Amino acid sequence: MAALACLIAAEAFAAEFVVTRTKGTGLPERGAIVEETREIDLFPGEYIALLSQGGKTIQIEGPFSGRIEDHAGGGKDEATGEGTSALKEISAFLKSDRLDTQILGSSRAFGGIAGQADPRTVWEPSVSKPGTYCVKRENPQVRLPAFNGRVRITLVGQGGALYEIDPPAGDEVVSLPEEALENGELLTLVFSDRPGRFEIKVVEETFRNRTEEIARLIAGRCHAQAARFF
């Protein structure tokens, strides 16, 4: 009975992965959630890239025939059942048109396996066009584009407080005034020379792994930053 109970518990918390990229026929679609027991058949030149609940990444390349858990190094998590909600968040993102061809194409330099983006540059978003950008609560920074002539940059904080930011000489990282930030607060950057809404969302760094980090970016609507992992 004890052995049976252990088997049932292991099956109940089988490690799960979200499919981030594939090349081949008969493979799960991008964004599909699969268990470690899933059978995969790959011919030479084919591959499947996966991201696990616990933030581990794995790329299986052909020729290969077997279960995901059979792959050397497998990227298997301990079967705890944690990370399911984050995987679902990422799955919906990968299946949606939010990860469009333009964003995906610009992010492929970060490698074929999810999780290869440099987190330092991900959290220093380039504020070059209107949108929402996530920054960390500790040492919040953004990369501002180069400006021609005198440009006025204002950060609108909580309650409408205004904070002036010195425009950079070129495309460089600028620290945001910490007194303007509050966890969860949505701030706004205003440029005197360009229209559009530039939102800055402050994120408390409490995620435990890369999967939670990506899910946090998606939940914050910082889609361009999340896309850099894929």
pLDDT in tens, the chain (230 residues): 544 444 444 455 678 999 999 999 999 999 999 999 999 999 999 999 999 998 888 999 999 999 999 885 555 555 455 568 999 999 999 998 766 544 544 444 333 444 456 666 889 898 888 999 999 888 888 988 776 666 788 999 877 889 988 777 666 888 888 788 776 688 999 988 888 889 999 988 788 899 999 999 999 999 989 988 88
| CA–CA dist 182, 114 (Å, integer) | 30
Q: What is the pTM of this model?
A: 0.80
Q: Give the start-to-end residue ranges of the domains of the chain.
A: 2-95, 119-227
| CA–CA dist 42, 78 (Å, integer) | 26
4 Cβ neighbours under 8 A, 6+ residues apart: none
According to CATH, what is the number of the domain 119-227? 2.60.40
Inter-residue contact 229 to 114 (CB < 8 Å): yes
